Amino acid sequence: MLKVLHFFKTYYPETMGGIEQVIFQLAEGSARQGIHAEVLSLSPRGAARNETVGHHIAHRSKLDLHVASTGFSLSAIKDFVELAKGADIIHFHFPWPYMDLVHFATRLGKPTVVSYHSDIVKQKTLLKLYKPLMYRFLSSVDRIVASSPNYAQSSTVLTDFKDKVSIVPYGLDRETYPEPNAEKLEEWKARVGAKFFLFIGALRYYKGIDFLLDAAQKTRLPVVIVGGGMLEDELKAKAQAARLDNVHFVGKLPDIDKAALLQLCYALVFPSHLRSESFGISLLEGAMYGKPMISCEIGSGTTYINIAGETGLVVPPGDVDALAAAMQLMWDQPEKAAEMGVRAAERYEKVFTADAMAFSYAEIYRDLM
């Protein structure tokens, strides 16, 4: 059986971001391809081996230091070497500069795959310092995988390595999502209403929640915001100051509650306005649940998931008037919105299943072997 070691700075159950979800779905789906996947990540909780996550194994190294979204660990180098010796393929998840250092410090000579999840957008000054190491790292690996042709074509970094870039869209498995009972659904209906726009995601600088709040003020349409993060208090204060009683901040939620809201919502709204949003896993979740979507054109995977005029509406990034108009249009045309939701679900089944993702990666792994 082919053995793959995934290496990333964080993982379940400690953090629940989009990259963690991709690694989880890939590790679970790989088993159906006859591949044994394990995951190594850093944790402030300290080191641990052989923890079960879903149906695969995860390992933790002690996080020693955290600087500019980059975790560092002295013990992780030793842990990585020990675990990598038993693997056939090393699967890195970019960006994470410490990972590059580990790769060069250990020089294991194993076939290497890099999932290129995002350009580095925010840390421009640090990028100038990191760029030589980044280019050396990407030059040294065997295959780089982008999640959409949109992102591969619009990334200046990926165009420099186009000869070794493959495209594998992210995929989700509906069976890994819990099924809420009638009582859970009624509980949420009573709390947020029966018809609402839904946003799911960490409340970060590139998510465009400021613009969503402004659009909600213009339209007075109901919006439910799931997630927490550094901007949570600031955004709540803005909503309170604007008296946005149509906006519900419900915080981080267990999977069962998130599934209930995905099932209940009228449409997904995804206002991310910067290229730090390379794909949009929660947007894909909306498609999986057959919901029409509203997103921004930022040259990334968001408009690979959401096809303008077919599966939803696409607006310019940071354009409050356009976002508000799209929300109002979708709200006022339920039949058209429902048709878009059907096409979104069809596109999910055709392009974005976890099995399709795992199959494509399995082909890459076997080709490298």
Same structural domain for residues 155 and 186?
Answer: no
For residue 38 the two structure tokens come to 């394990």
Q: Residue 99 sits in which domain range?
A: 2-173+353-368
Q: pLDDT tens digit string along 245-283?
A: 999 999 999 999 999 999 999 999 999 998 878 789 999
Model pLDDT, residue 124 = 67
Same structural domain for residues 189 and 311?
Answer: yes
Residue 181: Cβ-neighbour burial (10 angstroms; 0-12, 13-18, 19+): exposed
Model pLDDT, residue 369 = 93
Same structural domain for residues 44 and 91?
Answer: yes
Rounded Cα distance, 211 and 62, in Å: 38
Same structural domain for residues 241 and 279?
Answer: yes
The reported pTM is 0.90
Same structural domain for residues 220 and 150?
Answer: no
Same structural domain for residues 157 and 253?
Answer: no
Q: What is the dihedral of CA 218, 330, 181, 248, to 10 degrees?
A: -10
Supply angle C-alpha 57, 62, 67, rounded to 5: 120
Same structural domain for residues 155 and 190?
Answer: no
Same structural domain for residues 20 and 125?
Answer: yes
Same structural domain for residues 179 and 128?
Answer: no
Output the domain CATH number for residue 89: 3.40.50.2000
**What's the mean per-residue pLDDT of the chain?**
94
Q: pLDDT tens digit string along 48-74?
A: 999 999 999 999 999 998 776 778 899
Model pLDDT, residue 162 = 94
In the chain, how many domains are there? 2
In the chain, which stretches have pLDDT less than 50?
none
Same structural domain for residues 236 and 200?
Answer: yes
Model pLDDT, residue 331 = 98
Same structural domain for residues 209 and 336?
Answer: yes
Model pLDDT, residue 223 = 98
Same structural domain for residues 141 and 84?
Answer: yes
